[in-house]
Amino acid sequence: MNDTTSHYPKAILFDLLTALLDSWTLWNESAGSPDKGRIWRAEYLKLTYECGEYVDYETLVQRAARNVGLQQGAADALRRNWRTLQVWNGANEALERLQPHCKLAVVTNCSIALGHEAASILPIHWDVIVTAEEAGFYKPNARPYLLALDKLGIEANDAAFAAGSSYDMLGTAPLGLRTYWHNRIGLAPVEGSMAPDIESPTLDALPDWARRFGTTS
């Protein structure tokens, strides 16, 4: 007999700047073109993965720009236009559907100030917002995820994660955080990352996936 009773996780943790917000467009416009923006963003992601322990976010953004031959103005433009970050289509709807059923949290790789500023773009109440600066380490180090879970008072097996990059799966899989990868722009998985429960170019399936979190058949 199938058990079809809805059973949501106690909390869903979200990557903010890729899973919920379109930071790609901001980086591309700040760099001057989509090609330059992609290269710059890829270098930044590589630097955060390699450094682990927190280094000032804006310093890393500037370092990545220099490494790929961009001028200082690119990093300045990124900070100046931070509030123009756009919400992905479907993000607000998914969050509104989930909020009555579970706690919602952000785990994001940036400074405290920029993380809270970006999270406020989404018109919902966040139960917890954790940044790399607060945790002292960048994802996929375990500390940012664990700090969010500790603040929520929830074990990893009672929570889920919505990722925007496969780098997150390097951190969520060892912790036992079941993961939905919102792969909006069709990125290839990074080497060594575990497959998510679901990979989708939209967030449309997230609420129904969460609703079946504890369902057995």
pLDDT, tens digit (0-9, with 9 covering 90-100), for 152-211: 999 999 999 999 999 999 999 999 999 999 999 998 998 889 999 999 999 999 999 999
Same CATH fold assignment for domains 11-22+85-211 and 24-83: no
Backbone angles phi, psi at 146, to 5 degrees: -65, -35
Q: What's this model's pTM, rounded to 2 decimal places?
A: 0.93
**One CATH from 1.10.150, 2.60.40, 1.10.357, 1.10.1060 for 24-83:** 1.10.150
Q: Where are the domains of the chain?
A: 11-22+85-211, 24-83
What CATH code is assigned to 11-22+85-211?
3.40.50.1000
d(CA 110, CA 25): 17
SS3 call for 118: helix
The amino acid present at 36, given as its one-letter code, is K
Cα separation, 121 vs 82, in Å, equals: 10
**What pLDDT, on a 0 to 100 scale, did the predictor assign at position 5?**
54
Banded model confidence at residue 50, pLDDT cuts 50, 70, 90: confident
Question: What gap in Å lies between CA 101 and CA 97, rounded to an integer?
Answer: 8
For the chain, helix, strand, coil in percent to 5 are 45, 15, 40
